[in-house]
Amino acid sequence: MELSDYPRLAISRDYLRDARHMELSSSTRLRCAWESIYFCCCEVAALQGRQLDGLEHPDTDIVDNALRAIGLPEDERRHVLEMLHWAAYQQPLLPGPCLTEDACDLAEEFHDCTVAIALAQR
């Protein structure tokens, strides 16, 4: 699979790469991990034929839908929802909802699950 076939997944991977850059602030890295997850959520919605134009960023329904489709364990779902709340209320300077490394690991798992969904639909 080429990520160029799935531009949202390519963007997600780029955000994930940036989230792993230790020279960035924790807040920036956490924001990058969140954006990686959110682009995956958008890809899941697009794969299901949902219209994404005109949605507010972040859109709770898009995230909820992706969480159902991916089927993460409850504790990881909770972390994604905490990150959604953190991002939605523009609190990047406040402590994040989880440790940066945990957020990066979660974003990577989310990305891998989304790739698997995309491959299954080919």
Name which of 58, 72, 63 is nearest 45 in CA terms: 63
Query: How many independent structural domains does the chain possess?
Result: 1
Q: Give the CATH number, domain containing residue 39.
A: 1.20.120
Residue 4 above 80 pLDDT? no
Residue range(s) defining the domain that contains residue 101: 3-120
pLDDT of residue 54: 80
- When mean pLDDT is compared across 15-19, 93-97, 109-113, the lowest value belongs to 93-97
Q: Are 113 and 38 in contact (CB under 8 A)?
A: no
Rounded to whole angstroms, the maximal C-alpha distance in the chain is: 41
Q: Are 12 and 39 in contact (CB under 8 A)?
A: yes
- When mean pLDDT is compared across 35-39, 41-45, 105-109, 117-121, the lowest value belongs to 117-121
Tokens of 24: 């960035």
- Within its chain, how far is the Cα of 47 from the centroid? 15
**How does the average pLDDT of the chain come out, rounded?**
88
Would you say the C-alpha torsion 91, 64, 32, 107 has a positive or negative sign?
positive
The residue among 38 and 122 whose pLDDT is bigger is 38
pLDDT of residue 1: 60
Across residues 97-115, what is the average pLDDT? Answer: 89
Tokens of 33: 């991990």
Residue 61 above 90 pLDDT? yes
Rounded to 5°, the CA angle 18-79-75 comes to 130
The residue among 54 and 21 whose pLDDT is bigger is 21
Across residues 110-115, what is the average pLDDT? Answer: 95
pLDDT of residue 94: 55
Half-sphere exposure in the Cβ direction for 22 (13 Å, CA)? 0
CB atoms within 10 A of CB 89: 9
Report the alpha-carbon distance of residue 52 to residue 17 in Å, rounded: 24
